Amino acid sequence: MDALYLGARPTEKLSRLLAPSGLRVAHAKYKPGSLASSSAYCAVVLHWKSKTDQRVIVEAKSLGIPVLVITSKLAEAVQAGGPSADLYLEKPASDIEVATFLSDLATKLQEPRALAASR
């Protein structure tokens, strides 16, 4: 499973923290419509800078993809309108906080598969 990291590049430490959960972090620049046309992502991590970044949240949520927003403008990001992210973290967010969110998400996504396989 891949998590899409938009904005700042993910650190090597984050990649090491996610390795046990089987998650990889893919870094890319956002282009409108790119989430729907690319491979399925289990989550989007967005370094939110302005209201124009809200379009990423709108697209991801319309596809059912969870969104984690990291920003130094927390109040502005939360009040931007439209669909909300699943979690907002204020900069500087630690790699451990991001890895915890993504690892928990990976576990939740794998639970239905494990249940179906056991039937």
Tokens of 69: 């927003």
For residue 119, the model assigns a pLDDT of 55
Residue 51 has, within 13 A of its CA and on its CB side, a CA count of: 5
The 10s digit of each residue's pLDDT in 88-108 is: 999 888 899 988 888 888 777
The pLDDT score that the predictor gives to residue 18 is: 87
Please provide the DSSP assignment of 1-39 as one string. -EEEEESSPPPHHHHHHHGGGT-EEEEE---TTHHHHS-
- Give the number of residues written for the chain: 119
C-beta of residue 66 within 8 angstroms of C-beta of residue 72: no
Q: Is residue 110 pLDDT above 70, yes or no?
A: no
How much is the pLDDT for 113?
47
- Domain ranges in the chain are 2-118
Residue 92's SS3 state is coil
pLDDT band at 115 (very low <50, low <70, confident <90, very high): very low
Does the pLDDT value for residue 58 go beyond 60?
yes
CATH superfamily, with its number, for domain 2-118: Response regulator (3.40.50.2300)
